[in-house]
Amino acid sequence: MDQTLKAEQARVEIHLSARAASPGSLAAGRPSGETRSQGREGWRDVLAKAACEVFEIMVGTSLGKVTEDGPHIVADFTAMVGIAGSLCGVLSLRTSSEAARRMAAGMLGIEEAGVGENVQDALGEVCNMIAGSFKSRIPGIADTCALSVPTVISGKDYTLYSLASGEHYEVIFSFEGKPLSVTLDLHG
């Protein structure tokens, strides 16, 4: 994943593009026109199922699905994983610092007060697992695209310019009463 960070006083602009990640040989190939345009009606639900699976197994909490569009989220943390190969784009997870701390505590099986620097790490891993689970649920892409290592941004004041200017899928969840967004942006 390429990242260009432009610091403008306290504001950061982040430009992302996904390229082939290891194992490189498995990330080769482009989707056919048919693959690109058809059969994606259920992908939002697939994204939701992938997120629910990860939270139930790794965090020990069920996610509540909010609404089709959900509330606007001002996130303290944004985790991102690049997808490259037959499917190119970025999967991101955005939530508040409180939800992120609870998530890390759930994963580690400890009290929130003890999570410390593990918050970003936990958020990145959850995002990574959601991306992997999503990929494994879509026939034909598990072996033809690869995931980048996760990137986690702390702070609210940034603008994300994804070069993935194609399809956009977002699911807003309620995690222990706090909003949490899972988004998949694909290259056009």
Partner 1 sequence: MKPVRVLIVDDSSVMRKIVGRSLRQAGLEMQEVLEASNGSEALTVAREHPLDLILTDINMPMMDGLEFVRQLRRIEAAKDIPVIMVTTEAGEAHVVQALSSGASGYIRKPFTPDQIKERVIPLLRG
Task: Give the footprint of partner 1 on this chain (CB under 8 A).
Answer: 21-23, 26, 53-54, 57-58, 104, 107-109, 118, 121-122, 124-125, 128-129, 131-133, 135-136, 142-144, 146-149
Of residues 75 and 147, the one with the C-beta less far from partner 1: 147
Q: Distance between CA atoms of 171 and 92, rounded to whole angstroms?
A: 11
Beta carbon of residue 141, minimum distance to partner 1 (angstroms, whole number): 8
Beta carbon of residue 126, minimum distance to partner 1 (angstroms, whole number): 9
Q: Distance between CA atoms of 61 and 97, rounded to whole angstroms?
A: 17
Beta carbon of residue 136, minimum distance to partner 1 (angstroms, whole number): 4
Residue by residue, what is the 3-state secondary structure of 9-26?
CCEEEEEEECCCCCCHHH
Of residues 148 and 181, the one with the C-beta less far from partner 1: 148
Beta carbon of residue 8, minimum distance to partner 1 (angstroms, whole number): 29
Beta carbon of residue 176, minimum distance to partner 1 (angstroms, whole number): 18
Of residues 5 and 57, the one with the C-beta less far from partner 1: 57
Of residues 22 and 37, the one with the C-beta less far from partner 1: 22
Of residues 2 and 13, the one with the C-beta less far from partner 1: 2
